[in-house]
Amino acid sequence: MKVSIVGAGPAGLYAAILLKRMRGDLEIAVAEQNPPDATFGFGVVFSDDGLAFLRRDDPETVDLIEPHMMRWNDIAVVHRNRRIDIDGVGFSGIGRLELLELFRRRAGQLGIRPTYNTRLEDIGSIRADLIIGADGLNSRVRASGDFGEKVHMQANYFVWYGTNREFDALTQSFVETEWGPMNVHHYSYAPGRATFLIEAAPTTFDRAGFGDMEEPEYRKRCEEIFGDVLDGAILIPNNSLWRRFPHLSCERWFDGNKVLVGDALHTAHFSIGSGTRLALEDAVALCTALRDCEWATEKALPRYRSKRAPILAKIVNAARKSADWYDDFGTHMKKAPWPFALDYIRRAGRITPERLRKMAPRFSAEAERNGCSLEVAE
């Protein structure tokens, strides 16, 4: 059986590893259009829940990456110069390039050698029993078939940077600028390194003139705006262009012998930190379906969708609610720090008062002492 995987990001490499472990006689080819040391973005994060799900299905991979991760037990929300810590929300971060290198090394041990700088112009010319599209948002595999894709754009603009400093928690810092409200998502992924993702409402973006600036100019302005957060550090660019977040969904997950995983199939807003986790879980679900259906793709691909879709929908729906909250974060910033922090942690609509008290007992108690009711939305 021949399997061709298009894309050597986390989802593509992980799918190759799982398949080879399940069935050693598979002929697996992995093609990536970018060079091996190219990556867009800086660090990726996994929630404790996400790692727990992954460990359940593949403890070896978690054991491989966990020693290389930086971990935090809290989320910090900064509003009106007041920092409020929300306990019980654990996350771990790792550099995207380091994660890819760990997967490449593991794939190599299994005899899998991806080819890089290889752009497959004609997907239809690939001779394989199964073609896995793990080639991201601009997937050529998806473009080559009929997957019923839909894309909805969020209103806010964001730009992805790194910075040369560490933070002690995954932190959301909200600031009121002379042009309007802005915020930054920042978290460490390696010693002395952090992701620094800046977001602006359309009105703020236009008033600040970001759309008329070249990258070095708007980077300098952002360093000034978030000077207190950076505390002397600089912003490090890497394809750091202002963009709006695209919500991609596909009505059909497979077309003939072609099937999609990860960002080629769906996207989840960065505010819930689940993109990489979902891509890896897609790979697990696909490979498990193939094995359980004795490698008959005509049975395995429908099974992959039927088993995975309900689980995925819950997280993607939460991500959309979170994204909508961020599209209106300037309105939420009119609240005082404690009601604002409570509003933030409940933004995806999945946390009941009982769950919040159990998950974050210290924050819940402090919120109530500061006049917030956990029983109703503030």
pLDDT tens figures, 272-286: 878 899 999 999 999
Contact 357, 86 (CB under 8 A): no
Does a structural domain hold residue 298?
yes
What total number of domains does the chain contain? 1
Contact 241, 180 (CB under 8 A): no
- Helix/strand/coil for 178: coil
Does a structural domain hold residue 188?
no
Does a structural domain hold residue 241?
no
Query: 120 versus 331: which is more confidently predicted?
Result: 331
Is the confidence at residue 199, as pLDDT, over 90?
A: yes
378 falls in which pLDDT band (50, 70, 90)? very low
Chain centroid to Cα 318, Å, comes to 13
Closest C-alpha to 260, from 316, 306, 301 = 301
Does a structural domain hold residue 139?
yes
Give dist(CA 124, CA 345) in Å, integer: 46
Mean pLDDT across 1-22 = 96
Does a structural domain hold residue 205?
no
Task: Please give the pLDDT value at position 376.
Answer: 60
Does a structural domain hold residue 314?
yes
- The residue segments making up the domain with residue 297 are 2-69+95-149+251-323
Task: Please give the pLDDT value at position 90.
Answer: 84
34: left (phi over 0), alpha (psi -120 to 50) or beta: beta
How would you label 263-289 residue by residue, b for 16+ Cβ within 10 Å and e otherwise?
bbbbbbbbbbbbbbbbbbbbbbbbbbb
**Do strands 235-236 and 193-200 pair parallel, antiparallel, or not at all (unpaired)?**
unpaired
Q: What is the mean pLDDT of the chain?
A: 94
Query: In this structure, what token pair is assigned to residue 243?
Result: 């963009």
Residue at token pair 């928690």: 169
Give strand pairing partners of 94.
44
CATH of the domain at 299: 3.50.50.60
Closest C-alpha to 186, from 205, 159, 213, 153 = 159
**Do strands 254-255 and 2-6 pair parallel, antiparallel, or not at all (unpaired)?**
unpaired
Is the confidence at residue 151, as pLDDT, over 60?
A: yes
Chain centroid to Cα 52, Å, comes to 17
